[in-house]
Structure formats: structure tokens, C-alpha cells
Amino acid sequence: MIHGDNTLVLLLAGGVGSRLNVLVQTRAKPAVPFAGFYRIIDFSLSNVMNSGLSQVGVLTQYKPLSLMRHLGTGEAWDFTGRTRGVKILPPRTGFQDSDWYKGTADAVRQNIDFIRAHPAKETVILSGDHIYRMDLDDMLRFHRRKQAQVTIAMMVVPLSEIHQFGAGITNAEGRIVEWEEKPQIPRTDLASMGIYVFDTEYLLRLLEEDRDEVDFGMHLIPKAIERDNVFAYPFHGYWRDVGTVQAYWEANMDLLKTDSEISPQAWSIRPNPYADRLVVDRCPARFASGCVVEGSLISAGCVIEGEVINSVLSPGVRVGKNVRVRDSIILHDCVLEEGAVVDLAILDKRVRVGQGAVVGQGEDKGTPNTACPKHLYTGITMIGKEAEVPPQAVIGRNCGGGFPLAAHRHRGNHLIWRARRGRTAPPLCARSLSLFPRPLFRGCGLSGLP
């Protein structure tokens, strides 16, 4: 194993992740809960820990409070001690949040003093918003064996998806000889995973050459490939960027497969159980007589009286009598009252679904949300943190509602919810509204409301 003191890790955790819709209204993407008990960033942090690396800088920006609270001192991942540590690195103050970091390379450049303060032979740069397991120590050995200035973790993806990634063409030795960032007409199926190993001195020179070069994939990597030795480290395991609603839902559903490639326990993924309302102090899940649970992940503190099929429930969820939950992700401390139905939906923390209410109604899953057509288009409905869905309400497919909700009115083709606790609620993303006789507002189909 390469000694951890010789390697610095920079974990990029400041992205907005707006495609995750209501899940990122109050938190950064790496802080989004995943697999019931975890947060997305736990996978990257655990990979670092399990690889024996001990000096970590976490670059934050967008809504960092939840993430900072989750990281704490780093003790949950053994990042405490005289030669170990995790450091939160916020951006330099700007007039607006979006003014701070202009790109991945700019984020690292703004923390160049932190790099210089840690005399490391190599610097590992990785994202905090991917689900995977990787031995970074093996990647570092590969980097040294190839005598590379830069090594990029890469994997084969379908050609239809390559436009989402940086793409590299390699020679017989694995050296990258050509590079295209998010190519529309792909010439290779080898995609970058956004995980880099740099010789530290080489990285510092690149960052100092041109301050207008703000992104690794667009600027620094092509320059390095043109001039120096940049190698592709082949990766063949499970890896998923959960940056969209559909990808996030699919990754959670992957957990439930009998032949699942993803296993947080087998991968030794560690959460921080003390940061999230003392999860360790919750009682075991309770299953009432007559309840039905099939192919689901049920976390501590849950109470199940109804039916839960093919779903992921975070700690503290209460499923009342005659409730039906199917193909859904229910985050911490949600309450589903008697007779409610939640079908193909994602509920953020502390949502309350009233008696007889339906979240995810109808067979039409293909008509996209008019306000958020690039986020909600596969039938998944999302309800934001601390929302209240009134009794007997019916919410259709591809809907998204954020912030605490209570009552409603409608305007144009959006449904407007009145916020609780004096907070202003944004429009509920909605499909086009058509009046049904009940009445029922299609798309954000709400009926039975006052």
C-alpha cells in the first residue's frame, strides 16, 4: 500500500446538481440521502478510507450546511489523528453563490495554498457524488508504474451515453492520445469517471499557467494529453453518476435486485450515524401483523402496518394501515397515513401524506413535466422536504413539489403550494393542467382539496 502521508485527496463536493430537482433545494448533491442509511458522499469518503489515504480536503460551495454537519470532524471515516484529517474548503467569498467556483479546475486552483501546505507526491481529485467502490491505492500504483503525470479512471459505457462524459482514445499501452469532452459524435466508448491522479508538482504548474482555464475536462486534461504522459486506469466495477432523478431512482432500485452489483455492506461503506438525528439510537424496524413487505430495504425506526413493495425506506418512516407503497424511495421520518398510496415516487424527509391521498396516479408516465421537462419525464413524482399532502389529494405522474406544502391554489400551468412556517414556496413543477370532472388537475393531479 502506498503510504497515505504521500498522497493528498481533494474531493469536489460543491455542485448544485439541479437535475435532482427538489432533493437539492436544501442541500448539496453529495449530501442527498441514498440507500436508506447513507448519503451519496459516503461512497467516495469510504473509498478514500479503505484505500489507506488520510489527508482529505472537501471543496464545498452550494448549500454546504447539511454536508458540513454530516462530515463533522471526519471521525466516522477515521480521518482524525496527528497525521490524519479532513478539511472543509469553502470558496472565496463572491457577490453571488454562482460567482465562487467557475469550474472544477478553478475550484482546485482557489485552494492551491492548501495543496502547497501538504507536501504530497500525488494529488487525487475525485467527485463526491458518484456511487461506486474503487481501490484508489491500486490506481496510485498504476500511476507510478506508468510514470504518468496524470492518470484518469475510465470505463466503457454505451455509445449512446458517451455524450455525457469526457471520452478518451488510448494506444496499446493505455496512454491517452486523443480526448473529446462530451462528444456528440463519439469515436470511442471509453468514458472518464472524473477521478484523477496528478503528480502534485505537475498539477501546480498546470494550475498556474492560465487562470482562464477553469475546467479539467475542457481545458487542463486536453493540454496534458497533448504535451505529457496521461494514462487511462481501467475500471470494470459498478459505477453510477446519480445526477438525475432517473439515475438516482435506478441506483436505489439496483440495491433491491437479487443479483445486485451494489452492496454498501460488502463494500465497507461507512455513514456518519451520529449526524442524522442519532440514527444509532433508533429502535429496530417494527412490522405489524398483516403487513406485506416484498423486495424492499427497510431501515431502523420504521413502522410498517401496510404494504411495501420494491421500495427503499430510510430510518423512521411510518407506513399506516392499508397504505400501499410501490417502486418508491421514502426518506427519513415520512408519515404515510391510513389508506394512502405512493407509487413510483421519491419523498424527501418528513413528508406527511394524508389519509387516502395518492402520490403517483395514472398510467401515463411518458408526458414530461412542463416546467422541468429535463428532470421529470419517466413517471417519477417527487415531493419536497417537510411537505404535507392533504387527505384525499391525488398527485399525478412526473410532478415535483418542493418546500413545506399546505393547501394550494393554481396559476397558469403550475400548481402553487402555500408554505408552512412562513416560508415562501416556489411553483410546484407541473405538467399541463386539464380539468377533470372531480375536479382533477392532470399532471399535478390534485383533487379533493378545499
Digit-coded pLDDT (tens) for 230-279 = 999 999 999 999 999 999 999 999 999 999 999 999 999 999 988 766 67
pLDDT band at 409 (very low <50, low <70, confident <90, very high): very low
- Bridge partners, residue 310, by sequence: none
pLDDT band at 430 (very low <50, low <70, confident <90, very high): very low
pLDDT at res. 1: 62
The amino acid that residue 281 corresponds to is: D
Output the nine-digit C-alpha cell for 156. Answer: 466503457
pLDDT at res. 435: 24
* Secondary structure element (H or E) that encloses residue 240, with its range: strand 239-241
Looking at per-residue confidence, does 110 or 402 come out higher? 110
pLDDT at res. 276: 66
- Are 355 and 392 in contact by the 8 Å Cβ rule? The answer is yes
Least confident of 60-69, 284-293, 326-335, 349-358: 60-69
Identity of the highest mean pLDDT range in 58-62, 65-69, 171-175, 366-370: 171-175
Give the mean pLDDT of the chain: 86
Looking at per-residue confidence, does 135 or 102 come out higher? 135
The reported pTM is: 0.88
The pairing of beta strand 122-127 with beta strand 190-199: antiparallel
Looking at per-residue confidence, does 275 or 293 come out higher? 293
CATH of 280-428 among 3.90.1280.20, 3.40.50.12710, 2.160.10.10, 3.30.43.10: 2.160.10.10
pLDDT at res. 406: 45
- Give pLDDT tens digits for 43-98: 999 999 999 999 999 999 888 888 999 999 899 999 988 778 899 998 865 445 44
In this structure, the number of other CB atoms found within 10 A of the CB of residue 28 comes to 27
How many angstroms separate the CA atoms of 364 and 447, rounded? 17
The domain segmentation of the chain, as residue ranges, is 4-254, 280-428
Looking at per-residue confidence, does 243 or 426 come out higher? 243
Average pLDDT over residues 296-312: 98
pLDDT at res. 402: 53
How many angstroms separate the CA atoms of 427 and 55, rounded? 43
pLDDT at res. 21: 86
Q: Which residues of 284-295 are buried (b: 16+ CB within 10 A; e: fewer)?
A: ebebeeebebee
Looking at per-residue confidence, does 186 or 438 come out higher? 186
Average pLDDT over residues 179-208: 95
- Give pLDDT tens digits for 313-322: 999 999 999 9
Q: Answer whether residue 392 shows pLDDT above 60.
A: yes
What fold, for 4-254? Spore Coat Polysaccharide Biosynthesis Protein SpsA; Chain A (3.90.550)
